[in-house]
Amino acid sequence: MSTVHIVPTTSLRFHLTLFVRTQLGEAEMSFDFEAEDNPAAGGKVLAIAYRLDARPGVLDWQILSVVQIRTAGPQ
């Protein structure tokens, strides 16, 4: 007989969508990420913004949305 231990996670899931314009064209990018809470999520979004600003080929970018992904609780 085996036992399974379920460890609840305290992190929240978010979905970020960006519009990026480079010298080669325009694109909409989106991805999911995890953070401990809303302020930590904001910090991660700011870190992405700083990285985009530092890229030499990026002419312009815009955050289109940051949405918290709600998951169903234990049943």
Q: Is the pLDDT of residue 7 over 60?
A: no
**Residue ranges covered by each domain of the chain:** 12-69
From 63, 73, 68, 1, select the one nearest 35 (Cα to Cα). 68
What is the per-residue pLDDT for 70?
84
pLDDT tens sequence across 13-71 = 999 999 999 999 999 999 999 999 999 999 999 999 999 999 999 999 999 999 999 87
From 16, 1, 12, 13, select the one nearest 46 (Cα to Cα). 16
- Alpha helix ranges (H) inside 1-75: 38-54
From 73, 63, 70, select the one nearest 14 (Cα to Cα). 70
What is the per-residue pLDDT for 10?
73
What is the per-residue pLDDT for 54?
94
CB 20 within 8 A of CB 61: yes
Q: Is the pLDDT of residue 2 over 60?
A: no
